[in-house]
């Protein structure tokens, strides 16, 4: 019941505890991913190990590989799925997630609440041999990229689509956005239309794939953001994009206001009990004296 009281108070203008941006003794109900991706913190996190089945960290020793446990789990499962489906390849290169307790980190305006992660694209040689992506190098509309040694790489559409499809269908991920350039999205969707029979999945992918309008086109990496879940929405998780219709709906509030205000008062450490009735004037006072007050 307490979470209902907190949500009502926030809706009525930020009157109470859970409307604060960070947890504190006055906001004990906040936990996990708190706030929006560009202005939030993280109280419950997991760290992505330096390497594992099918992936490596781009910055092995950087302190920015923490995220919500379900985000980290989804990355581990998707990378391992690519390795199993395409044996003998090279690992996925994972860019930044968030700091252990969230907040501002270098190189990013978002990535503050444990729901964001960057992935370098899978690439091959022009002849189709998988090679490790060396860094944040922008791929052209044709999928080619010039590498530091002067050679060329090419978007590995098959492995990239398999990886993203696994994330989109992961029961724990709840992908909200896959930010990338329009040209690379088009190449991936074209491949999916040729290979997939599940048109709903392709529509799902087209919906969440987006070239951001407030930053670079993301031709050098995929920026994935996961959505707040219903239970997370009542402990501080907020925003970052639309709540898509295929996600679990947020709790619907149609409360009894008297009951909720009573619950808010009950949590008040300075409240001594039910509100006492207002004192009435003594009956011995003459009515004309009361009227003069």
Question: How many angstroms separate the CA atoms of 163 and 188, rounded?
Answer: 11
CB 175 within 8 A of CB 167: yes
3-state secondary structure of 116: strand
The CATH number of domain 39-233 is 3.30.1380.10:
yes
CB 96 within 8 A of CB 64: yes
| Residue 238 CB partners (closer than 8 Å, separation 6+) | 35, 36, 40, 228
The secondary element (H helix, E strand) that includes residue 124 is strand 123-124
pLDDT of residue 259: 75
Q: Where are the domains of the chain?
A: 1-28+255-276, 39-233
Dihedrals φ, ψ of 32, to 5°?
A: 80, -135
3-state secondary structure of 131: strand
3-class SS letters over 146-192: ECCCCCEEEECHHHHHHHHHHHHCCCCCCEEEEECCHHHHHHHHHHH
pLDDT of residue 200: 96
pLDDT tens-digit profile, the chain (293 residues): 444 444 444 433 333 333 445 566 556 779 999 999 999 999 999 999 999 999 999 999 999 999 999 999 999 999 999 999 999 999 999 999 999 999 999 999 999 999 999 999 999 999 999 999 999 999 999 999 999 999 999 999 999 999 999 999 999 999 999 999 999 999 999 999 999 999 999 999 999 999 987 777 899 999 999 999 999 998 999 999 999 999 999 877 666 667 777 777 777 766 555 555 555 555 555 555 444 44
pLDDT of residue 29: 78
Dihedrals φ, ψ of 94, to 5°?
A: -100, 125
Can you give the pTM of this predicted structure? 0.80
């Amino acid at each position: 019941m307490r979470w209902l009281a907190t949500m009502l108070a926030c809706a009525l203008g930020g009157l109470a505890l859970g409307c604060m941006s960070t947890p504190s003794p006055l906001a004990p109900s906040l936990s996990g991913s708190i706030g929006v991706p560009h202005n939030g913190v993280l109280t419950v996190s997991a760290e992505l190990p330096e390497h594992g089945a099918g992936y490596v960290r781009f910055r092995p020793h950087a302190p920015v590989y923490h995220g919500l446990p379900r985000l980290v789990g989804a990355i581990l499962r998707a990378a391992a799925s690519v390795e199993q489906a395409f044996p003998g390849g090279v690992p996925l290169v994972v860019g930044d997630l968030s700091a252990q307790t969230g907040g501002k980190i270098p190189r990013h305006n978002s990535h503050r609440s444990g729901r964001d992660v960057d992935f370098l694209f899978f690439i091959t040689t022009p002849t189709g041999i998988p090679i490790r992506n060396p860094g944040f190098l922008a791929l052209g509309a044709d999928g080619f990229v010039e590498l530091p040694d002067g050679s060329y790489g090419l978007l590995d559409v098959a492995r990239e689509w398999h990886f993203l499809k696994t994330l989109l269908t992961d029961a724990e991920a709840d992908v909200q956005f896959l930010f990338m350039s329009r040209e690379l999205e088009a190449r991936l969707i074209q491949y999916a239309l040729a290979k997939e029979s599940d048109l709903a999945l392709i529509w799902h992918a087209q919906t969440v794939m987006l070239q951001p309008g407030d930053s670079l086109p993301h031709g050098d990496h995929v920026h994935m953001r996961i959505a707040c879940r219903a239970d997370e929405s009542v402990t501080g998780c907020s925003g970052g994009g639309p709540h898509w219709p295929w996600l679990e709906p947020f709790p619907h509030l149609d409360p009894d206001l008297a009951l909720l205000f009573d619950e808010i008062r009950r949590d008040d450490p300075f409240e001594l009990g039910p509100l006492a009735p207002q004192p009435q004037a003594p009956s011995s006072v003459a009515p004309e004296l009361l009227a003069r007050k």
